[in-house]
Amino acid sequence: MTKKFNQYLGKAGHLAVMSEFLMLGWNVAIPEVDVGDDIFVVQDEQGTLRKVQVKTSAATQRKSGLSGQFSVSAKNLRNISNILVHYVFILRYNNKWLEPVIIRQDFLLDLYQNNHIGSNNGNKIVFYFSYGHGEIKCSGRNLNKFVRDFTDFPFTNH
């Protein structure tokens, strides 16, 4: 894939994820300066703010399913602040979006440090997801509990 295609794919992933939050009744905004947060998600009535980092990949067909590779800034993942980042991993295959995998920053950091998912690649951590047989795995660990895990984004009826 070309760099230009990856830019289009990344923006399309952002917009697809933003539409999911909007359908849950949350407001969304793209920060003017990207310092690690792709989307701000706000529950207007309560003033609840969530930060979201979207990681998008084009799927690769494998013998037993699909795969996608995602890179995360090691510095940003380790930078735990009072508002945790929610990482949304979304894969595009055959002109469709697959179900997003949503992992809160502290959980993802724990999975990386203590369960050894992902691999260090300089200042990036690379997560290789495999999709097949009804499971999504990374480094052999099942991530199904994170599929469409909008727990921290409860539906708001307007």
Question: Does any domain span residue 67?
Answer: yes
Question: Does any domain span residue 152?
Answer: no
Question: Does any domain span residue 151?
Answer: no
pTM of the shown model: 0.96
Question: Does any domain span residue 65?
Answer: yes
Segments forming the whole domain that contains residue 137:
3-146
Question: Does any domain span residue 157?
Answer: no
Amino acid 53: pLDDT: 97
pLDDT over 90 percentage in the chain: 91
Total tally of structural domains belonging to the chain: 1
Quote the distance between the C-alpha of residue 91 and its chain's center.
Answer: 9
Question: In whole angstroms, how far apart are CA 75 and each of 4, 62, 66, 72?
Answer: 25, 31, 29, 9
Q: Which amino acid is at 6?
A: N
Structural tokens at position 79? 């930078």
Question: Does any domain span residue 153?
Answer: no
Q: pLDDT tens digit string along 19-30?
A: 999 999 999 999
Residue with tokens 């959980």: 107
- Are 30 and 89 spatial neighbours (Cβ–Cβ below 8 Å)? no
Quote the distance between the C-alpha of residue 134 and its chain's center.
Answer: 19
Q: Predicted confidence band at 142 (pLDDT cuts at 50, 70, 90)?
A: very high
Question: Does any domain span residue 74?
Answer: yes
Structural tokens at position 154? 């409860």
Structural tokens at position 128? 């290789």
Q: pLDDT tens digit string along 76-131?
A: 999 999 999 999 999 999 999 999 999 999 999 999 999 999 999 999 999 999 99
Q: Which residues pair with 131 in a beta bridge?
A: 66, 136
- Please say if the pLDDT value at position 158 is more than 90: no
Question: Does any domain span residue 112?
Answer: yes
CATH of the domain at 100: 3.40.1350
